[in-house]
Structure 1
Amino acid sequence: MLTVMKEAELALLLLSMVGCGSAGARAQHGQPDLAASAEVVGELQLEELLHQLDLLEAEVYAHSPSEAPGNPIERCADHDREVMSRMLAFKLLMGKQQKKAADIKYYTLLQTGKPGALLPAIQLRRYYFEGLLECVLRLTGTGPRKAREESYVSLLTQSNFEAETSRGIVLVDFMTHGCGPCKIMAPELEKLARHHRGELRVGRLTVDRHPELNERFDIATFPTLLLLKDGKEVARLDDVRDYPRLLSWVQSALPGEISPMSAKSVPDGQAPDRDTE
């Protein structure tokens, strides 16, 4: 346990060495000035970081479903020294001894915290889940990890919402980053956006950071999907769907406007790549 504590403290020390201290000294030695960068991290950049983290968390749980024998996630979190040290570093930053308490504080900060101030917590949480994923892949024999595909999902904020949704067909995911089903939905939305780019756009909006938009559309549960055409609501869905069912719902709401990609030869939950057909 002492070794794990030292490794966790080292992770925090490395973060502070990058994020604090003399900007001039860091620039002289060619080191990134994270503290200066944090000051200019805006709402859109914050959402991009959190979206990638949501995709990472979804990937972890996709490789270790609840019915997986031996629960690989728990085995990694409770017995793998590297994973344990990364989580401990996150808990030290949050000032909480228990993981649940640290998670609660983290998600509370995400609701109202300034984007730049949230950067260290997001980095350490990503550091933890990257280690957790590596461990789960080893235990389940499903590695190595696949390369991350380019994202086609738009990250929406109060400032860009109208420009992104006022024309054409747009599917908006009203979600929160503390919502488990919202994370599960993230990779399915990526599939929809990737395979139907040019026909519709897909966006995600964090409702607790943009309550005005949440009130405007009267969203009560998360995730809620709104299908908009030229800025006007066409349909809404408030339960989690996989890619084939998502596509079917969109097609039924807009008959003849979204191409019927054939899924009869594709396993449920997967989709053919439009570029290779």
Structure 2
Amino acid sequence: MKAAALALSLLAVPGCGSAGTRARHGQPDPSASAEVVGEVQLEAELHRLDLLEAEIYAPFRSAAPGHPVDRCNDGDSEVMSRMLAFGLIVGKQEKKAADRKYYALLQTGTPEELFPAIYLRRYYFEGLLECVRGLTGAGPRKAREEHHVSILTQSNFDAETSRGLVLVDFSTHWCAPCKLMAPELEKLARDHRGAIRVARLTADRHQELIERFDLTTFPTLVLLKDGNEVARLGKYRTYQELLKWIRDALPDQSSSWSGHPTQGGQVPAPDNE
């Protein structure tokens, strides 16, 4: 309970967590409304949560008895207390019920309503990852660099995708393949910045864009060139598979984008940045 009480006390600290800073990519204009700024910050936090969850679950492809995640959730007091803190903030103490309530809140909640739950969910996942790494002998966790995937919302979508080559990941936070693909997209964004921009949009919160692109399954990747759709892909793909798909979709672009990692190039900034 000590850890749970500590986590709950964090909610009283203004700007607690990285959501108190502006997203590195896809950030709103400084003159944007508080609502727009909050939505971009929320999307950035959801992306970081997906990366963290992928780090926990990606090494395991089986849910056999004795699974390290289950052992931590059911037997590690620190992890259990952090899970309890998260459950208390969403109003459900049992893990599966708390997850369902959280995913439902993500569809309709405002950033101000959701940030406390997101902070505590990250707090829980960080403890779970530490426990799992201890059980599997993975050693200390490496420091994670800032994300390279751009953050999209309804308000900045057209401005962020109107110029150049943009790969948009339409995902949902409850979709396991979406989370597992998040690190692959991060690697693509990092290795090929300057040639392609990789961006993320959470489908749950942007129904107008989902209808505009006629999306029914997630994840769906849509490749845009100067705002026009070039190709789309409706399933999980590894980093190498993503590279092949992009090359196949752009047979006449070999001279401008070879698919080889760039050497520190920068993505051209949209007009609104």
Which residue does 1:267 correspond to in 2? none
Q: Is the 8 A contact 1:63 1:137 kept in 2?
A: no
Which residue does 1:148 correspond to in 2? 144
- Relative contact order (alpha carbons < 8 A, sep ≥ 6): 1 or 2 greater? 2
Q: Which amino acid aligns with 1:101?
A: A
Please give the TM-score of this superposition, normalised by the length of structure 2.
0.84
**Cα distance in 2 between the residues matched to 1:10 and 1:260:** 47
Cα 1:242–1:88 shift into 2, 3 Å: same
Which residue does 2:258 correspond to in 1? 259
Q: Which amino acid aligns with 2:222?
A: L
- TM-aligned CA deviation for residue 17 of structure 1: 4.2
Going by fraction, where is helix more abundant, 1 or 2? Answer: 1
Cα 1:170–1:104 shift into 2, 3 Å: same
> Secondary structure at 1:228's aligned position in 2?
strand
Q: Percent identity?
A: 67
Q: Which runs of 4+ in 1 moved over 6 A?
A: 37-40
**Cα distance in 1 between the residues matched to 2:184 and 2:119:** 24
- TM-aligned CA deviation for residue 275 of structure 1: 4.4
Equivalent position to 1:210, from 206, 219, 228: 206
Does 1:106 find its partner at 2:105? no
- TM-aligned CA deviation for residue 62 of structure 1: 2.2
Deviation string for 1:70-121 (max 9, x for gaps)? 3111111110110010001111111113111111111111111111111110
Does 1:83 find its partner at 2:79? yes
Q: What 5-or-longer segments of structure 2 have no aligned partner?
A: 22-33, 265-273
Q: Which amino acid aligns with 2:118?
A: I
Q: Which amino acid aligns with 1:18?
A: V
**Cα distance in 2 between the residues matched to 1:33 and 1:44:** 16
Which residue does 1:241 correspond to in 2? 237
Larger Rg: 1
Q: Is the 8 A contact 1:250 1:258 kept in 2?
A: no
> Secondary structure at 1:42's aligned position in 2?
helix
Cα 1:59–1:237 shift into 2, 3 Å: same
Q: Is the 8 A contact 2:192 2:259 kept in 1?
A: no
Q: What 5-or-longer segments of structure 1 have no aligned partner?
A: 20-31, 262-272
Which residue does 2:220 correspond to in 1? 224
- TM-aligned CA deviation for residue 65 of structure 1: 3.8
Which residue does 1:24 correspond to in 2? none
Does 1:48 find its partner at 2:44? yes
Q: Is the 8 A contact 1:174 1:223 kept in 2?
A: yes
Aligned length: 246
Which residue does 1:188 correspond to in 2? 184
Cα RMSD for the two superposed structures? 2.3
Cα 1:94–1:153 shift into 2, 3 Å: same
Q: Which amino acid aligns with 1:186?
A: A
Cα 1:260–1:206 shift into 2, 3 Å: closer
Please give the TM-score of this superposition, normalised by the length of structure 1.
0.82
Q: Is the 8 A contact 1:63 1:142 kept in 2?
A: no
